Structure 1
Amino acid sequence: MEKKKKLLIVDDQVGIRILLLEVFSTEGYETFQAANGRTALDIVRTHSPDLVLLDMKIPGMDGLEILKQIKEINRDIKVIMMTAYGELDMIKEATDLGALMHFTKPFDIDEMRMAVNLQMGEGPASRFASGS
């Protein structure tokens, strides 16, 4: 039996965390959530998620700082940023730090689902790639 892929959702808004947890649990991922940077980094160290959905604006430690520390812990963890603002300078910096892409809130949940499935190597795109 294949190991479930792990997804960490980091957002200080509980509504967004619940929505994303429901969507991605249904997709078959093992999901974790954190409302702040410290909790997020604890989960990264303990569970080593395959992918992190990371909000840019989190009280205490901002998304860029969390992203830096995730990459220090494990460079292979994929990170997708979420932002409520058109913060292009921060988005560029996040990309430079290793974030794959970003979604602006409110995001289209189906687009987010497809992007995550693609990054996790699940879903239609990966099946074609393997030449099956």
Structure 2
Amino acid sequence: MDKKKVLIVDDQNGIRILLMEVFNSEGYTTFQAANGKAALDIVNSDRPDLVLLDMKIPGMDGLEILKHIKEIDPAIKVIMMTAYGELDMIKEATKLGALMHFTKPFDIDEMRVAVNLHLRTGSIDQCS
């Protein structure tokens, strides 16, 4: 079975490194990008199974990146990360196909569980 691929998109290096360590240790192949262009290059070349996408990224914001990811491959799962209560953006992200969002500072274990659920079962609706 191929290892599932997780792409972490955040302009904060510390967050990318932390999440890469967590998901590498979970057995995923991880990629990281600090901006939208780098993220979309990776989506095009490596087709990650899931993208952890920060809402606020200099240059191209998370919603724009999300739209492009879904245009490239609608099957790619996206979980948004947001720093503030950006409710309008979160609603918009959900409309565009984001599965869920985490508000920073997020609980790393909750995120790990959510990613594992989405990647191992394909859906988070059934936890029983």
TM-score, normalising length: structure 1: 0.91
Which SS does the other structure have where 1:22 is aligned? helix
Q: Deviations over 1:53-97 (max 9, x none)?
A: 000000000000000000000000000000001000000000000
Which SS does the other structure have where 2:6 is aligned? strand
Give the 5 Å matches for 1:67-86: 67-86=66-85
For structure 1, the residue ranges without an aligned partner over 5 or more in a row are none
Give the 5 Å matches for 1:1-132: 2-121=1-120
Letter of the structure 1 residue corresponding to residue 78 of structure 2: V
Aligned length: 124
**How far does residue 121 in structure 1 lie from its aligned partner after superposition?**
1.3
**How far does residue 118 in structure 1 lie from its aligned partner after superposition?**
0.3
Q: Deviations over 1:4-55 (max 9, x none)?
A: 0000000000000000000000000000000000000000000000000000
Matches of 1:63 and 1:118 in 2, distance apart? 23
Which SS does the other structure have where 2:31 is aligned? strand
Letter of the structure 1 residue corresponding to residue 44 of structure 2: R
Matches of 1:57 and 1:113 in 2, distance apart? 21
Matches of 1:109 and 1:51 in 2, distance apart? 16
Structure 1 consecutive aligned stretches of length 4 or more whose deviation exceeds 6 Å: none
Matches of 1:38 and 1:85 in 2, distance apart? 23
Q: Which entry has the higher C-alpha Rg, 1 or 2?
A: 1
Q: Deviations over 1:106-132 (max 9, x none)?
A: 00000000000000016xx8xx88xxx
TM-score, normalising length: structure 2: 0.94
